[in-house]
Homo-oligomer: A and B are copies of this chain.
Amino acid sequence: MTAQWRPVRQSRTHELVLETIEQQLLTGQLKAGDRLPPERELAAALGVSRSALREALRVLETIGVLVAQVGRGPDAGARIVREPDDALGRVLRLHLALGSYGLEDVLEARVVLERSSVEAAARAGRTEDFEAAEELLAGMAGAEADAERFNELDTAFHVLLARSSGNHLVSTLTSAVRESVRALILGAERNLDDWPGTARKLNADHAELLRLIGAGEGAAAADLVERHIRGFHGAFVSSRPEDADH
């Protein structure tokens, strides 16, 4: 194997701090819900400046592992939380914009993830999610004129299906990927010739998808969701010929 040496880039203080805290997370010494000491105390305890500590905390915050609240009382200060969705969404969104991967890749990823989601959802059969999905569906039917609102509900619908699969990770990834192309999809919808008609078609897909999932027909639902995604996604990719290289 050809040796690949990456620069060591050693010892930026905030990275050391980060490692320390990460270790405590990985070993379970820090759990969700725990509070960190006040910044000034922790900085002193770690022997670093408050600025360096704050940079490390900021990183944890963007990862969705920590939130901070000002003020006083039991809810104030820095707390460990579990909110990966926004973090992943932001990463994917920015890298999509930078062309770290192309739209085709996003299309394939969506197909793969959502096929798996709907199959699992059909197996799980959660009626409460089913009802919520019905509501979203009704909302979309009423919002066919308003592309922005439709897009919002559409995203919520797909994310709900993913969540209904019972697999948090796949759901998080699905949600993040879907969010990352949200602005693009919205832009494409606005440029379509016959948007209301397209919206109706999409909604018909959604209704049928929901029916199949409710009936436990996972395989059929998976095929439908693939057609659904490829159909629309493919249509607007072709109208946006900026291919991203790498």
Contacts and interface: CB of A to CB of B under 8 A. Distances in A.
Size bin of chain A's contact surface:
35 or more
Contacts of A98: 25, 31-32, 65, 80, 82
Interface in A31-87: 31-32, 51, 54-55, 58-59, 62-65, 80, 82, 84, 87
Contact of A135 (B1, B55, B84, B139): B1
Contacts of A113: 112
A34 B52 CA distance: 26
Interface string A1-21: 100000000000010000000
- Dominant secondary structure of chain A at its interface with chain B: helix
A95 interface: yes
Interface in A173-216: 173, 177, 183
A17 to B, nearest CB: 12
Interface of A: 1, 14, 22, 25-26, 28, 31-32, 51, 54-55, 58-59, 62-65, 80, 82, 84, 87-88, 90-95, 97-102, 104-106, 108-109, 112-113, 115-116, 120, 135-136, 139, 167-170, 172-173, 177, 183, 246
A108 B183 CA distance: 29
A113 B97 CA distance: 23
